[in-house]
Structure 1
Amino acid sequence: MHSPTDQHWQSANRVLRYLKGMATHGILLKRHNPLSLHAYSDADWAGDVDDYVSTNAYVTYLGHNPVSWSSKKQKGGLRSSTEAEYRMKHIAIDYHFIRTMVQDRALRVVHVFTRDQLADLLTKPLSPTAFKDLTFKIGVSPRPSILRRRIEDQSYS
């Protein structure tokens, strides 16, 4: 804050454009929903160009509904993306438990192709097309027009 640069100004403008463009969006939770739990996790590898620290993220679903998500910058740099993902607290703490669950076939771990990796939305800068595609896949959509009009009316009063 004591010596902002043009890059800081561009980043701030990008955040403000995002907030303006997404003000009418939300997550619609589906009523009829299977009780299956699944999650996507990702870590960029030294993605911050200033300090080369990685960002971890996950999105957890109950059926079709996203119920938990997080994106956090790590405290220190790591040497590989595998090490970054292993250190994610929600994985590292339960690593051995999860390994046993996989061996017992109570849990299935699968590779997710980049185009379908929902956690990328929380770890990487994306093109507008990829951003829109992933937000739709996560479940973010424009709110119904009745709610949108009420929100817009309240913001002008």
Structure 2
Amino acid sequence: MIITGSDYSTIEEVKHQLFQEFEMKDLGFLRYFLGIEVATSPTGYLLSQTKYARDILSRANLTDEKIVDTPLELHAKFSASDGVPLEDPTLYRELVGCLVYLTVTRPDISYAVHILSQFVSATRSTHWAALLRTLRYLRGTLLQCLLLSASSDLTLRAYADADWAGDISDRKSTSGLCVFLGDSLISWKSKKQSVVARSTAEAEYRAMAYATSEIVWLRWLLSDMGVSLSDPTPLYCDNQSAVQIAHNSVFHERTKHVEIDCHFVRQHLQAGSITLPFVPSSLQLADFFTKTHTVARFRFLLGKLSMLSALASSV
């Protein structure tokens, strides 16, 4: 059990009561939990899975020492028919499963893992090559950690984006979202949309609806923890058409097929749970979770996600 807070006398009282009821030990300050390493610094808490990542690389048994700058090649697209089938996909499935858990503290590999996960049931040589590239990126970034800032204010802001028709197999779009509490990244997702979007605006709007759902849940969670959010949460979108659809009270033929999402987003817009400020595509942080990027763009976006190297944090 993990007990946190700033009222140390109450913490000691709770611990004493627990000791009376259960056989347990006080292990001191949190350092390691379910494969997640926790370190403290003047700037806040640093979450990492360095040991777990090393175990993944050890299981993969890579035969070279190469490292790469990004998890996937630029403009990489994969389908279920590329390459030749693997004779035994067991290791691929095991490694992808491990990488899924690694994304708990590594948003930088979320998009790559989202892609790799789609081929666990029918794995081919191209998918294996993509997995090896992700592992080589991991090898070069073992000390990457997620910072939960000690000085952040308790306000939410979110970003939602979509890569329209990006999947070459079924032309479904990929939604990306990330949510910050102050300066700290606390939620992120890369997810293929369930239906084919017929326009960029539709794809963006579905991503917006998904992000709205996440915001509503986080606002409820924070309220349950005693954090009252009186101001609406800004949800940044880089598509003017999607923003205008949310503000337009009249449905027409162009929005009929996404009417449920329209009602959902507009309900929370009118209730004051969210606002929909426009953000230029160059500053759309959720873009990180929808597609591959150049090295420069990847590093720029990564630098905005409150991630840093454990070496840098100790300097």
Q: Which TM-score applies when normalising by structure 2? A: 0.41
Q: Tell me, which stretches of 5 or more residues in structure 1 are unaligned?
A: 148-157
- CA drift of 1:50 comes to 2.5
The answer for the alignment partner of 1:99 in structure 2 is: 269
The 1:44/1:145 distance shift into structure 2, 3 A limit, reads closer
Task: Give the 5 Å matches for 1:74-153.
Answer: 74-88=193-207, 89-91=210-212, 92=261, 94-101=264-271, 107-144=274-311
CA deviations over 1:4-33 (Å, ceiling 9, x no partner) = 24x434422321222222321011111011
Is 2:173–2:203's contact at 8 Å kept on the other side of the alignment? yes
**1:45 is aligned to 2:45:** no
Greater relative CO (CA pairs within 8 A, separation 6+): 1
Partners of 2:313 and 2:157 lie apart in 1 by 32
Match for 1:17 among 136, 139, 142?
A: 136
Q: Among all aligned residue pairs of Structure 1 and Structure 2, give the percentage whose two residues are the same amino acid.
A: 34
- CA drift of 1:43 comes to 0.8
| Letter paired with 1:121 | F
2:298 match: secondary structure: helix
Q: Which TM-score applies when normalising by structure 1? A: 0.78
| Letter paired with 1:53 | K
Partners of 1:146 and 1:126 lie apart in 2 by 26
1:87 match: secondary structure: helix
Partners of 2:291 and 2:162 lie apart in 1 by 9
**Which range is displaced more, 62-71 or 107-116?**
107-116
CA deviations over 1:52-87 (Å, ceiling 9, x no partner) = 111101100111111111111112311112212322
Partners of 1:138 and 1:126 lie apart in 2 by 15
The 1:78/1:142 distance shift into structure 2, 3 A limit, reads same
**Which range is displaced more, 121-130 or 45-54?**
45-54
CA deviations over 1:90-147 (Å, ceiling 9, x no partner) = 4437313223046xxx743211112211111110110011111101111111013698
Partners of 1:57 and 1:122 lie apart in 2 by 5
The 1:119/1:90 distance shift into structure 2, 3 A limit, reads closer
Partners of 1:146 and 1:87 lie apart in 2 by 37
Partners of 2:201 and 2:313 lie apart in 1 by 46
| Letter paired with 1:80 | S
Q: Tell me, which stretches of 5 or more residues in structure 2 are unaligned?
A: 1-79, 86-123, 213-260
1:138 match: secondary structure: coil
RMSD: 2.4
Partners of 1:117 and 1:124 lie apart in 2 by 12
| Letter paired with 1:97 | Q
Instruction: Tell me the matched-pair count.
Output: 143
| Letter paired with 2:264 | D
Please tell me whether Structure 1 or Structure 2 has the larger radius of gyration of its CA atoms: 2
The 1:55/1:133 distance shift into structure 2, 3 A limit, reads same
